[in-house]
């Protein structure tokens, strides 16, 4: 090891009372291969940006193991390279060759402290990929054949870790990837069954059970959201996504439209008030079971302009239901970047179906806040790190599902009700005109006469 003494210099400047110390610098052949132009590392040691080869080198570094970097890389690599290219980089790293002009002792030190460590890091990365049930998409599975061929290479297979990894790759090729931990959540609560042998209507379903069935439906959609979909929304400007996140958004919009349509379908204001109270009760029960997605969708429907203006209907909603409505509205107040909702969510113990809109807002801020690549064609890795934090928040709520039993008749009712509102149809004008038809604008005098008549005085 080369040691740079500072003793003489410090004594010259500070005198003989200065502390005696030395600084150890690694020999050049044990230092990273990338240059300062290939990688930007901040003062705290975290990677801000880098070329793809430099990032892969850091991923399999021989002198440090950055777990945060590794997790970010494996979760976000598809935003700056392909799986085939990534695998090729790993293979090249494994077969790293010694520099020229090394002495025998230096070559031995290089093999022990650099080459061997890099090779073990490459195998560890491959193992992490294979053991992660969410790492490979269907179109990625062909890479497992290349992994098998690599691990069977004579030089690679001499390493015990490679021999241990090979059967895992074989199982993955057969579709047997180890699944993550599934919690034991016990027996579900007893379902509140609607009356059989009849076509269901909204008021036939108990509000608590309707909230449960909505939670089953929304949780199923939320569980399907994949990290790459979130990452794409933090990087891409396009708005016509057709992924699982889009399906969650569409379902939220359809629930809101279903709420508005259910209220406006009745000519009698008393019947509209009954529907309002039913949906308020359902939203409140969604709140209590931490299904914020359905809660927000229902409240959005109730707070839509065609419904809010129905004063005759709202006048017949009692104080208890209005208090429940206010509790829900408080949570989703968009003031201060949804601060109330974020504070409540931070204290929630799973299971939970969060409101995806807040996550998407954060991903949009990340997308618009900085460029995907920096000068010199360096991948903006810090941006990926910020996106990963949101992805981890989303994944946190995918681990523990709600423990409710689906009721086929109610699920069918929900599917048929929501199917009426496709994403292509704009029902805003229709609802507004129907709202005006249900409750035309009236003067103060007309309102007073109506109230007296409804009270039995006229």
25 and 159, same domain (yes or no): yes
148 and 249, same domain (yes or no): no
> Cβ atoms within 10 A of the Cβ of 385, count?
20
User: Any idea what the CATH number is for the domain that residue 283 is in?
Assistant: 1.10.840.10
Task: Tell me the C-alpha distance between 87 and 169, whole Å.
Answer: 14
Contacts of 40 (CB under 8 A, 6+ apart): 47, 48, 49, 50, 374, 378
44 and 140, same domain (yes or no): yes
144 and 207, same domain (yes or no): no
209 and 72, same domain (yes or no): no
- Buried/exposed 284-318: b ≥16 CB within 10 Å, e otherwise: bbbbebbbbbbbbbbbbbbbbebbeebebbbeebe
User: Any idea what the CATH number is for the domain that residue 29 is in?
Assistant: 1.20.870.10
Q: What is the largest CA-CA distance in the chain?
A: 110
Omega before 313 cis (within 30°)?
Answer: no
308 and 426, same domain (yes or no): yes
Q: What is the pLDDT of residue 445?
A: 64
Q: Is 226 exposed, middle or buried (0-12, 13-18, 19+ CB in 10 A)?
A: middle
> Which pairs from 357-361 meet CB under 8 Å and 24+ separation?
357/249, 357/252, 357/296, 359/230, 359/390, 359/393, 359/394, 360/233, 360/245, 361/337
433 and 327, same domain (yes or no): yes
154 and 28, same domain (yes or no): yes
How many domains does the chain divide into? 2
> Cβ atoms within 10 A of the Cβ of 177, count?
19
Last-in-domain residue among 152, 173, 194: 173
Show the domain range for 218: 202-354+397-454
Q: pTM for this structure?
A: 0.86
Evaluate whether 409 touches 280 at the Cβ level (below 8 Å). no
279 and 423, same domain (yes or no): yes
98 and 216, same domain (yes or no): no
137 and 240, same domain (yes or no): no
Instruction: Note whether residue 26 is domain-resident.
Output: yes
Q: What is the pLDDT of residue 335?
A: 82
φ/ψ of residue 424, rounded to 5: -80, -20
Give CA separation, 45 vs 4, 27, 65, 68, in Å: 23, 20, 12, 11
53 and 163, same domain (yes or no): yes
- Could you list the pLDDT tens digit for every one of the 458 residues in the chain? 333 343 444 344 444 544 444 456 889 999 999 999 999 999 999 999 999 999 999 999 999 999 999 999 999 999 999 999 999 999 999 999 999 999 999 999 999 999 999 999 999 999 999 999 889 988 899 999 999 999 999 999 999 999 999 999 999 988 766 555 556 568 999 999 998 878 899 999 999 999 999 999 999 999 999 998 999 889 877 767 789 999 999 999 999 999 999 999 999 999 999 999 999 999 999 999 999 999 999 999 999 999 999 999 999 999 999 999 999 999 999 888 899 999 999 999 999 999 999 999 999 999 999 999 999 999 999 999 999 999 999 999 999 999 999 999 999 999 999 999 976 678 989 999 999 999 998 767 656 665 666 666 55
Instruction: Note whether residue 365 is domain-resident.
Output: no
């Amino acid at each position: 090891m080369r040691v740079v003494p500072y003793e003489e210099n410090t004594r010259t400047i500070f005198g003989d009372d200065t502390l005696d110390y030395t600084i150890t610098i690694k020999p050049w052949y044990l230092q990273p291969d990338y240059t300062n132009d290939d990688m930007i590392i901040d003062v705290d040691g975290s990677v801000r940006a880098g070329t793809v080869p430099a990032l892969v080198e850091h991923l399999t570094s021989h002198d440090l193991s950055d777990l945060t970097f590794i997790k970010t890389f494996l979760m976000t690599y598809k935003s700056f390279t392909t799986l085939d290219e990534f695998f090729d980089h790993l293979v090249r790293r494994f077969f790293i060759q010694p520099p020229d002009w090394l002495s025998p002792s230096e070559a031995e030190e290089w093999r022990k402290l650099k080459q061997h460590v890099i090779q073990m890091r490459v195998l560890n990365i491959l193992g992490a990929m294979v053991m992660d049930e969410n790492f490979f998409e269907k179109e990625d599975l062909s890479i497992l054949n290349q992994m098998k061929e690599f691990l069977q290479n004579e030089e690679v297979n001499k390493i015990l870790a490679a021999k241990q990894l090979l059967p895992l790759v074989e199982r993955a090729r057969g579709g047997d990837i180890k699944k993550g931990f599934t919690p034991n959540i016990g027996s579900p609560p007893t379902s509140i069954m609607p009356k059989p042998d009849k076509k269901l209507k909204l008021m036939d379903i108990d509000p608590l059970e309707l909230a449960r069935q909505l939670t089953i439906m929304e949780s199923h959609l939320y569980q399907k959201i994949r990290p790459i979909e979130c990452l794409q929304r933090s990087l891409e400007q396009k708005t016509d996504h057709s992924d699982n996140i889009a399906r969650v958004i569409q379902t939220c919009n359809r629930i809101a439209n279903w709420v508005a349509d259910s209220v406006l379908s009745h000519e009698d204001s008393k019947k509209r008030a009954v529907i309002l109270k039913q949906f308020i009760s359902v939203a409140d029960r969604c709140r209590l079971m931490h299904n914020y997605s359905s809660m927000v969708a229902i409240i959005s429907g109730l707070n839509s302009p065609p419904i809010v203006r129905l004063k005759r209907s709202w006048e017949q909603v009692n104080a208890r239901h209005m208090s429940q409505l206010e509790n829900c509205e408080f949570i989703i107040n968009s003031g201060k970047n949804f601060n109330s909702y974020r504070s409540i969510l931070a204290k929630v113990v799973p299971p939970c179906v969060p409101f995806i809109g807040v996550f998407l807002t954060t991903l949009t801020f990340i997308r618009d806040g900085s460029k995907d690549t920096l000068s010199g064609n360096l991948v903006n890795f810090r941006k990926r790190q910020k996106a990963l934090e949101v992805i981890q928040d989303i994944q946190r709520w995918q681990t523990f599902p709600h423990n409710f039993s689906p009721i086929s008749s109610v699920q069918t009712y929900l599917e048929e009700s929501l199917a009426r509102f496709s994403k292509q149809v704009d029902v805003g004008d229709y609802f507004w005109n129907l709202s005006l038809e249900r409750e035309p604008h009236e003067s103060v005098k007309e309102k007073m006469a109506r109230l007296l008549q409804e009270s039995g005085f006229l």
